[in-house]
Amino acid sequence: MPSDELKALLELRWANKPDPTGPFEKLRDAGQDPGIEPRPGTTCERVDADGVPCEWVIWDKPVTEAIIVYLHGGGYYRSSGPESRMIASNLSKVCGSRCFTVDYRLAPEHKFPAAVEDAFAAYRWLLDEGVLARDIVVCGSSAGGG
């Protein structure tokens, strides 16, 4: 049985759902939340991984050589690597490792397999930078988990 808080959250979500018949840009903007910042003590550094915008998100001092490659969710049409800073920061803290977010190209401007190609290019870039494959963990949420 859902709690009263969950019921209220669901009611709020359904009362403010995006209009799928409206302009595409408005639908994309409905999922944007640029106000979510990483936890205090996190550094964020943008990098170009062979043409793919990525970002190192590192909380405090990593205790392992492992790197978490994090692919954001958003149905392949919205969200971004920078919008995932809080998640990446939390992963970095809990796992004691560096987190590498991939800001893959979005649909409909970029058709399948653009997002997959970008994720693979970022992975190859890490290998070219000397990161060992055994030290890379790939994960994501929603579409990014695909």
22-80: per-residue pLDDT in tens?
776 766 766 556 557 899 999 999 999 999 999 999 999 999 999 999 999 988 988 88
The structure's pTM equals: 0.82
Q: Which positions ≥6 away from 140 have C-beta within 8 Å?
A: 70, 71, 72, 73, 146
Domain contains 28: no
Domain contains 80: yes
Domain contains 22: no
Domain contains 27: no
Half-sphere exposure of 45 (CA within 13 A, CB side): 8
H-helix segments, the chain: 4-15, 24-29, 85-95, 114-128
Domain contains 30: no
Domains held by the chain: number: 1
Give, for 129, the enclosing helix (H) or strand (E).
none
- Residue-number span of the structural domain to which 48 is assigned: 38-145
What is the C-alpha separation between 89 and 38, in angstroms, rounded?
A: 6
Q: What is the CATH classification number for the domain harbouring 115?
A: 3.40.50.1820
Domain contains 26: no
Q: Write down the pLDDT at residue 32.
A: 58
What is the C-alpha separation between 70 and 57, in angstroms, rounded?
A: 10
Model confidence pLDDT, tens digit, residues 56-69: 999 999 999 999 99
Q: Which residue has the higher pLDDT, 26 or 11?
A: 11
Q: Which residue has the higher pLDDT, 118 or 34?
A: 118
